[in-house]
Amino acid sequence: MLEAKPDPNPTIKYTKLFINNEWVDAVSGRKLPTINPATEKVIVEVAEGDKADIDKAVAAAKAAFARGSEWRRLTASARGELLIRLADLIGRDINQIASLESIDNGKPFSNSFQEVYGSIKIFKYYAGLADKVGGQTMPTDENELGFTRKEPLGIVGAIIPWNYPFILLAMKLAPALAAGCTLVLKPAELTPLSALYIGTLIQEAGFPKGVVNIVPGYGATAGNALAEHSDVRKLAFTGSTVVGHKILEAAGRTTLKRVTLELGGKSPLVVFDDADLDKAVGYTCHGVFLNAGQTCIAPTRIFVQSSVHDKFIEKAVAFAKTVKIGGAFEPDVFQGPQISELQFKKVLAYIESGIKEGAKLECGGSRHGTDGYFIQPTIFSNVTDDMKIAKEEIFGPVTCILKFETFEEVVQRANNTKYGLASGVFTNDITKALEFAKAIEAGSVGINQWVLPAPHLPFGGYKQSGFGRELGTNSLDEFLEIKTISISLPTNN
């Protein structure tokens, strides 16, 4: 069992780009600062990659994927063994990685620890799948044998967001490596430290040169260069819907890349009058205040049946007032800061718009403290479907409670959004719950719990929440090509 041992001042050794298993400066020599959002102070400066560095990284990944290369000669089981070794090294260094994540992102250490632990499970899950990729044989009408084989797609560009940097890196890296691809990773410029740290573990685990390359940089430069690069066969992106549109455009500008997009959400959670209210409130508040609300699947539209509406609000407000806000290494902290000053101001602007449009502020709504980008847990009631706070993704510790009367009404309203990432329903009527799960337009549905991503469960969205799936066996298929082979057989006389 891994033991959590936080380090508020972790040693930062890796601040350069990781290309071809070497630590190198950016071609431009530029560096970008990474800031602790709990203190608003610069932690360290890291090399700032741009197009020139992406070109170098893609060239290294291309050489590593070339026919006859060390990586391509490895058996599938050998790839699985490398992934197991990497998972074990992450476990060995889990406290260092989690501490880096907490100072870089601001989230409580306990959360960072669990996320890194979750990434270990992901690497081990795909290690077990590496040697289980197989094709099919098919009967034909002709005198021939037809069969398929699955082959690695090639060079993958993975663009990682800042809200869950390490575990989202694992969700892209693990299946791609299990499939036999090579990668160029661009971590978010706001949170590059944990991604850079895994570079040294890639080296130590024994991955061949060029299989994994890590280039921090800004989206408009490094990210765009990766999306447009003609040698990149696939893009795996997690981030906002706005940027997702740009990624899709860039991916088709030079070549027809395969693209996986996991984008924004405005997830509905429906509470019927026969539900366990205490359980519903607990899952709701944990879901929306976790990671300071910077979670794409957060339940930010809570539909509560009219007969229990007022009681639900009372319980939710009481829960919100127990949430402890503070720095990552303070005891019993649940909610940390917003990631940046820009995000902090954006969330406060949404709160102000909710007040102006006539929603009732039940609790929160203001800055917490004087240092750091902390915002109080915020709950609105008297929210209507046309309000800005009910339609747009806020990405902060803010949720809206809306009243409903009937099943058909709430399904229609819950689906009346451009998003479709996650959803949930609380009821003791399993028939009603399953009917809701069938009717809702969302990639994941939680019944009497909130959505809980796990290595074996495919995760992704409907509509403008993206397409493609991460996790599960479905994710492995996203990194594979299917080749059909047919053989003429002798005619039987």
Helix (H), strand (E) at residue 303? strand 301-305
DSSP per residue, 227-249: HH-TT--EEEEES-HHHHHHHHH
Active site residue 408: no
Separation CA 63–CA 403 (nearest Å): 58
Separation CA 228–CA 253 (nearest Å): 7
Separation CA 249–CA 226 (nearest Å): 13
Which pair of structure tokens corresponds to residue 180?
């036999």
Question: What phi and psi, each to the nearest 5 degrees, are found at residue 261?
Answer: -120, 120
| Cα separations in angstroms, 168 against 159, 160, 237, 271, 481 | 9, 7, 10, 30, 23
Residue 24, burial from CB neighbour count under 10 angstroms (0-12, 13-18, 19+): middle
Separation CA 1–CA 167 (nearest Å): 19
Other CB atoms within 10 Å distance of the CB of residue 113: 22
SS3 breakdown of the chain: % helix, strand, coil, rounded to 5? 40, 20, 35
Residue 39, burial from CB neighbour count under 10 angstroms (0-12, 13-18, 19+): middle
In which residue are the tokens 């066996």 written?
473
Q: If we measure between CA atoms, which residue out of 265, 268, 273, 295 comes closest to residue 385?
A: 268
| Cα separations in angstroms, 165 against 45, 116, 131, 162, 168 | 18, 10, 28, 5, 6
Given the residues 189, 262, 362, 393, select the one marked as catalytic: 262
Amino acid of residue 313: I
Q: Helix crossing, 165-179 with 193-205: angle to 10°?
A: 30
Separation CA 430–CA 439 (nearest Å): 14
Separation CA 109–CA 52 (nearest Å): 36
Other CB atoms within 10 Å distance of the CB of residue 108: 27
Separation CA 82–CA 130 (nearest Å): 10
Rounded to the nearest angstrom, the gap between the alpha carbon of residue 40 and the centroid of all alpha carbons in its chain is 24
Amino acid of residue 239: G
Which pair of structure tokens corresponds to residue 262?
């996991």
Tell me if residue 280 falls in helix, strand or coil.
Answer: helix
Q: Please give the positions annotated as active site.
A: 262
